[in-house]
Amino acid sequence: MRTANAFAMISENVRSDVIDATQFPDMARQYQVFAVPKVVINDKTSFEGNLPPHQFVGHIEQVAATNGEDQR
Amino acid sequence: MLLSWIQPRDAELLKTRFENEMQGEVSLYVFTRDDRIMVPGRPPVPYAREIVEVMQELAALSDKLNVIVVDADSEQALITEYGIELLPAVVPVDSEGKDHGIRFYGLPSGYDFATLLEAIFDISRGEAGITDEPVKERVQALANPVHIRVFVTPT
């Protein structure tokens, strides 16, 4: 999760929310959190576990290539 | 305060870390709500009061760390400005008041607390915790809004 925060610091376009799944069970259910850390990008793609930064940014690039964030 | 959230031994260690690692000032916006007011249908805020106490204890350990408590009910404009989606929330900003896009939702504890500390140090130094230049360049090249949600548990 430090990686996500670092990305947010590097780019003004990136926002990083660190959410305690135990304190927000409804949200965790909504995002189908069964294991942590679980990373959700623009509500479109997700992965579980810690990825090295170059793989993490690869996931973001894939989503960002399509378009911005969906309105929920 | 009769009860301490941060143990004296940890407080000493944290004090030393703050002295060694803090450069610029950092302020923590703590968004919460008076949990003595019950509104039917509105979900309770977990650790609504505790989060204020913990953050104030933390800030007492360094003259470069400040806490700004924001009441969600009376400060709707700030909730909107910072895009706060859940309560309680902690948003660290730098000495210029710049928001770096990092939010902690819920009372940070355990591993989460360590991550908050890292974010405070990084913002204080004005350096992201990544040294890999090619990765930095790829992140800087992101042209559209990216919203990352990281779900964690304290342990």
pLDDT per residue as tens, chain B (155 positions)? 446 889 999 999 999 999 999 999 999 999 999 878 778 888 789 999 999 999 999 999 999 999 999 999 999 999 999 999 999 999 999 999 999 999 999 999 888 899 999 999 999 999 998 989 999 999 999 999 999 999 999 77
CB–CB contact A2 B43 (8 Å): no
For B86, which of A22, A27, A38 is closest by C-beta distance? A27
**Residue ranges with strand state E in chain B:** 26-32, 65-71, 89-93, 102-105, 146-152
> ipTM for the complex?
0.93
CB–CB contact A42 B147 (8 Å): yes
Size of interface A-B (CB pairs under 8 A): 177
What the block records as the tokens of B1 is 């305060």
**Residue ranges with strand state E in chain A:** 14-20, 38-41, 45-48
For B145, which of A5, A38, A69 is closest by C-beta distance? A69
Asked if B106 and B151 count as a contact pair (C-beta separation under 8 A), the reply is no
Rounded to a whole number of angstroms, the distance from the CA of B7 to the nearest CA of chain A is: 22
* Cβ burial B84-116 (10 Å sphere, 16+ → b, else e): bbbbbbbbbbbeeeebbbbbbbbbbbeebbebb
Q: Which residues pair with B151 in a beta bridge?
A: A19, A38
Start-to-end Cα distance in chain B: 27
Q: Which residues pair with B27 in a beta bridge?
A: B66, B93
| Tens digit of each residue's pLDDT, chain A (72 residues) | 799 999 999 999 999 999 999 999 999 999 999 999 999 999 999 999 999 999 999 999 999 777 645 544
CA dihedral sign, ordered A33, A34, A37, A38? negative
Is any Cβ of chain A less than 8 angstroms from the Cβ of B77? no
